[in-house]
């Protein structure tokens, strides 16, 4: 009998869950923008991030509890290179990523790139993939020319977004000018 009194509450919670899912799907269906999410799992409880500006960058959305970083600075650098690859060849921590990293869109559609990670990132269009403007994160890679001048870059902080418009037909390559293994490609048909 004790359990029965929780049944109505459970029903309310389940009902709300259904409402949230439905609302989200409708919001996505209404938006004509394709979406790419910048992600990383930098651990905000690791003080070793403090010299790099802390983690997460900026403040979470009010009410948001979706951000849970669990990658320490030590792990980030441990996975920057691999003993199975050539010395100096950057692999990069897989948690620093764009999802999806490849999309196809129709001409005229916009692409919205949103940062849900804890660090600042860029989604910079490059002619050819290369390194960024932070030499220790490039390994032996040469910087992409588009990444060399940080003052000319658009940075996306946590919770922020960048909208790509006017992409012409063809394949476009993008990368983070800080973490150069964070790549993306958009094909416009
Ligand atoms: Cu980045």
In a domain, 26, yes or no: no
Q: Which residues constitute the domain of residue 61?
A: 34-188
In a domain, 19, yes or no: no
pLDDT digits (tens, 9 = 90+) for 8-35: 444 444 444 444 333 334 344 336 789 9
Read off the tokens for 98.
């764009």
Q: Where are the beta strands (DSSP E) in the chain?
A: 34-39, 97-99, 102-105, 111-115, 124-126, 161-164, 170-175, 183-188
pLDDT digits (tens, 9 = 90+) for 156-170: 998 899 999 999 999
Q: Could you tell me the distance, in angstroms and rounded to a whole number, from the CA of residue 155 to the centre of ligand 1?
A: 9
In a domain, 101, yes or no: yes
Distance separating alpha carbons of residues 132 and 148, to the nearest angstrom: 7
In a domain, 73, yes or no: yes
In a domain, 74, yes or no: yes
Q: Is the pLDDT of residue 4 over 70?
A: no
In a domain, 85, yes or no: yes
The pLDDT confidence band at residue 93, using thresholds 50, 70 and 90, is: very high
Q: Could you tell me the distance, in angstroms and rounded to a whole number, from the CA of residue 157 to the centre of ligand 1?
A: 10
Q: Is the pLDDT of residue 148 over 60?
A: yes
Q: Could you tell me the distance, in angstroms and rounded to a whole number, from the CA of residue 2 to the centre of ligand 1?
A: 51
Q: Could you tell me the distance, in angstroms and rounded to a whole number, from the CA of residue 32 to the centre of ligand 1?
A: 26
Which conformational region is residue 21 in: left (phi greater than 0), alpha (psi within -120 to 50 degrees), or beta? alpha
- In this prediction, residue 31 carries a pLDDT of 62
**Segment 145-152 mean pLDDT:** 97
Give the single-character DSSP code of 167: P
Task: Determine the 3-state secondary structure of 18 from DSSP.
Answer: helix
Q: What is the CATH number of the domain that holds 117?
A: 2.60.40.420
In a domain, 128, yes or no: yes
Instruction: Please state the φ and ψ torsions of residue 117, each to the nearest 5 degrees.
Output: -90, -170
Q: Could you tell me the distance, in angstroms and rounded to a whole number, from the CA of residue 87 to the centre of ligand 1?
A: 22
In a domain, 5, yes or no: no
Count structural domains, the chain. 1
pLDDT digits (tens, 9 = 90+) for 39-92: 998 988 889 998 888 777 655 555 555 557 889 999 999 999 999 999 999 999
Q: Could you tell me the distance, in angstroms and rounded to a whole number, from the CA of residue 47 to the centre of ligand 1?
A: 19
Count how many residues are written for the chain: 189
Q: Could you tell me the distance, in angstroms and rounded to a whole number, from the CA of residue 72 to the centre of ligand 1?
A: 16
Q: Could you tell me the distance, in angstroms and rounded to a whole number, from the CA of residue 139 to the centre of ligand 1?
A: 15
Q: Could you tell me the distance, in angstroms and rounded to a whole number, from the CA of residue 183 to the centre of ligand 1?
A: 9
Q: Could you tell me the distance, in angstroms and rounded to a whole number, from the CA of residue 122 to the centre of ligand 1?
A: 6
Distance separating alpha carbons of residues 14 and 8, to the nearest angstrom: 10
């Amino acid at each position: 009998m004790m359990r029965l009194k929780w049944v109505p509450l459970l029903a309310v919670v389940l009902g709300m869950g259904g409402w949230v899912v439905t609302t989200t799907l409708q919001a996505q269906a209404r938006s004509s923008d394709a979406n790419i999410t910048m992600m990383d799992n930098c651990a905000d409880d690791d003080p070793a991030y403090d010299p790099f500006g802390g983690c997460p960058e900026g403040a979470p959305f009010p009410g948001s509890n979706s951000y849970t970083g669990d990658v320490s600075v030590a792990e980030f650098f441990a996975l920057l290179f691999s003993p199975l690859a050539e010395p100096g060849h950057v692999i990069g921590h897989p948690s620093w990523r764009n999802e999806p990293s490849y999309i196809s869109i129709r001409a005229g559609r916009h692409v919205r790139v949103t940062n849900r990670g804890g660090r600042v990132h860029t989604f910079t269009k490059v002619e050819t993939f290369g390194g960024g403007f932070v030499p220790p994160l490039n390994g032996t890679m040469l910087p992409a020319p588009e990444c060399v001048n940080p003052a000319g870059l658009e940075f996306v902080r946590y919770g922020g977004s960048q909208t790509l418009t006017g992409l012409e037909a063809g394949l476009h390559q993008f990368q983070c000018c800080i973490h150069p293994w964070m790549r993306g490609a958009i094909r416009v048909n």
